[in-house]
Structure 1
Amino acid sequence: MTDEILTLPEVAQPLKVAEKTVCTMTQKGEPPAFKVGGQWRFRRMASDAWIDAKTRRAAGEEEST
């Protein structure tokens, strides 16, 4: 199975944030990404794992408060 490569708009849409927001976050190291020809690209599996980790962390914070 190959890991699909996503573009910035393809990552921003399901997160329901602006592309600029994803770009700013990516420059800070999250979500995991790499550049091709000066444009950000994202591995679907890495992006999904990042979202899952954020979701689990948020759920854990809610439970502990």
Structure 2
Amino acid sequence: MTSRFLLLSDVAAELNVSDSQVYHMVRSGDLPAIKIGGRGQWRVERSKLEEYIERKYAETAEWVQQNPLVE
């Protein structure tokens, strides 16, 4: 069974970026997350990560369209 929530380090591994990059994405509001527990540990719902990835694909496609490769 797949966990519903991921640690920031799990998200970093999934996206192949650093933990600090994921923390910045969460703190900036770009990647939705929740704080839980007395120590306020961050968790990202797997479905929110998938939505984030789809949004980034759309943003990248739009950017590519607006910035064609000129050879």
TM range (shorter): 0.7 to 0.9
Residues 1-65 of structure 1: matches in 2 within 5 Å? 4-37=4-37, 38-65=40-67
Give the number of the structure whose alpha-carbon radius of gyration is greater.
2
1:29 match: secondary structure: coil
Extract unaligned runs of 5+ from structure 2: none
**Count of matched residue positions in the alignment of Structure 1 and Structure 2:** 64
Distance 1:61 1:24 in 2: 22
Task: Give the RMSD, CA atoms, in angstroms.
Answer: 1.7
Extract unaligned runs of 5+ from structure 1: none
Q: Give TM-score, length-normalised by structure 1.
A: 0.86
Distance 2:25 2:65 in 1: 26
For residue 55 of structure 1, report the CA deviation from its aligned partner: 1.0
Q: Which segments of structure 1 move beyond 6 Å, counting only runs of 4 or more?
A: none
Distance 2:8 2:48 in 1: 14
Structure (1/2) with the larger helix percentage: 1
Q: Give TM-score, length-normalised by structure 2.
A: 0.80
